[in-house]
Amino acid sequence: MSDVGAYYAARLLQKQHKLIYLNLMFNDIGPEGGELIAKALHKNTTLKYLRMTGNKIENKGGMFFAAMLQINSSLEKLDLGDCDLGMQSVIAFATVLTQNQTIKGIYLNRPILYGEQEESTVHLGHMLKENHCLVALHVCKHNMKNCGIKQLCDALYLNRSLRYLDVSCNKITRDGMVCLADVLKSNTTLEVIDLSFNRIEDVGAKYLSETLASHNRSLKALSVVNNNIKGEGLVALSQSMKTNPILSNVYIWGNKFDEATCVAYSDLIQTGRLKPDNTDVEPFVVDGHVYLAEVSNGLKKHYYWRPTYGEVCSQSSNAGSILVPVGPDL
């Protein structure tokens, strides 16, 4: 679907008064088509969830959607991931969301940002201090480093609404975990954190484990997939689950498993502390040694695609939206 199709989608939004979910992901809608759809939402009062994922509306189109959020009072969930948003439009969304009281979940994944100052996270942090309605924030592929995660963590000391923080596919290391571990000691709202595809390593995993073992009793799910964590950090994380009764979902695939790690997670699963559907590994034994195999479970396995068989919305593959439901997810 091109901008011509977007024109008809915009007309649909203007005339159809029962539509609550519109999925236009990965079409060929550009900035002009984005403008048409955004302006159609100025008067629409029924749509709850719009997926524009993968349409290259760019910075220009993003600005129209940001302006729309100043007017629209019904949209609860907006996905503008992989839309080539620019710094200006990301900042515009952060600014608008300090006032918008209806958006519960927003995806701003993979914007096109230049420079190393992480200006976008400064504005997102300010937004989190002011916004008391946003439940889920997805900022994957933001080139976010430790300075950026610190900006978000500083805001989370004051925020009491955010339950799902997705900072996967960034450049966060062990130093960033010092800030996150500290805020988790006092934050009682965060339930799901996605740290997949960063580089927190053993030290970062141990910082989190210490907080989860002794202080935090609100986090339900943690993904540290592909974080260059070795046995020491993974075992520490498994030990924290023995004293923390709330943490139910842990995803660890893509790290460096040693035998101690395999035994630790095998024990958690066999004793029932970690349910097979709530993790992405499964133990098996060869010649008396325990190993871990990958299982297709995770927080958002079906974000970009749907399986050709089995459950369309498997709870074990999309645990994030099950633990923290935000608007209709059809």
Domains recognised in the chain with CATH numbers? 26-32+51-323 (3.80.10.10)
pLDDT score recorded for residue 315: 87
Tell me how far the alpha carbon of residue 151 is from its chain's centroid: 17
pLDDT score recorded for residue 310: 67
CA–CA dist 158, 208 (Å, integer): 20
pLDDT score recorded for residue 308: 74
Q: What stretches in the chain show pLDDT beneath 50?
A: none
Q: 183: number of CA atoms within 13 Å, CB side?
A: 21
pLDDT score recorded for residue 329: 56
Percentage of the chain exceeding pLDDT 70: 98
CA–CA dist 207, 150 (Å, integer): 15
pLDDT score recorded for residue 313: 63
Give the distance between the most distant pair of CA atoms in the chain.
Answer: 66
| b/e map 100-133, b = 16+ CB within 10 Å | beebbbbbbbbbebeeeebebbbbbbbbbeebee
Residue 248's closest CA among 269, 278, 212, 213? 278
